[in-house]
Amino acid sequence: MRLLPREESFFDSFEEHARKTVEGCRAFVEMAQGKVSPRDACPRIKAIESECDHITHHVVERLHKVFITPIDRNDIFRLISKMDDVIDFVEAAAMRVQLYGVNNDNKELWDLARVLMAGCQRVSEAVSGMRNLKHPELILEKCVEINRLENEADVQLRGAINRLLAEEKNPIEIIKWKEIFELLETATDRCEDVANIIEGVVLENS
C-alpha cells in the first residue's frame, strides 16, 4: 500500500508540451507550403516556444518539490528537456527563414518540415501512452516509427544539400539554406532522443 500519493501531473505537462510542439510544427509546415508568410508564422511559433519553455520550467520546479514521482526523476528531467529542444530548433529554423529573407515556398523545406511534423505527432502519441503502461507495445511502436522518420530526415537532408550545391550558385544562399535545413533535421534528431528516453521508461516500468 502506498502511503504517499505520486505526483501524476507530470504527465499532464508532457502531453501539453507535446501538443503545443505539434502546433508549432504545423505553423512551420504552413509557412513551408507557402500558405502563410514568415512575418505571420514566426510570431506564432515564437509564442508557442515561449509557452513550452514555461511548461518545462514548471516541470523542473515541481521536481524539486514533490516527494514521489510517477517515473524516475532523471527520466522526467531528460524527457522534458529533450522535448523542449525540439520546439527550440523549430523556432530557430523559422526565425532564420524570416531573418535571411529566403523564399519559404521551397520543396526541400517542405519535405523536412513534413517529416518533422510526423515525428512530433508520434512523440505526442507516445507521451500520451506513458500515463498507462499496460500496453507497452503500442508506445514502443510509436518510438520505432519516430526512429524511422529520423532516418528519413537524414536522407532528405543529404538530398537537399546535394541539390543546393548543384543548383545554387550564390555561396551566401547556400550557407543560409544549409543552416535552415540542418536545424530542421536536428529537431527530428531530438524527436529520436525523446523516443529513446520513452523506450527506456517503458522497459523499466512495464
What are the structural domain ranges in the chain?
9-205
Going by pLDDT thresholds of 50, 70 and 90, the confidence category of residue 6 is low
Task: Kindly report the CATH number that applies to the domain delimited by 9-205.
Answer: 1.20.58.220
pLDDT at residue 2, rounded to an integer: 41
According to the model, what pLDDT value does residue 94 have? 97
Query: Which pLDDT value is given to residue 8?
Result: 66
0.95 exceeded by pTM: no
Section 143-160 average pLDDT: 97
**In the predicted model, is pLDDT for residue 4 greater than 70?**
no
Lowest mean pLDDT among 22-26, 105-109, 196-200: 105-109
Which residue is associated with the grid cell 538530398? Answer: 159
pLDDT digits over 92-136, tens only? 999 999 999 988 668 899 999 999 999 999 999 999 999 887 788
The pLDDT of residue 7: 61
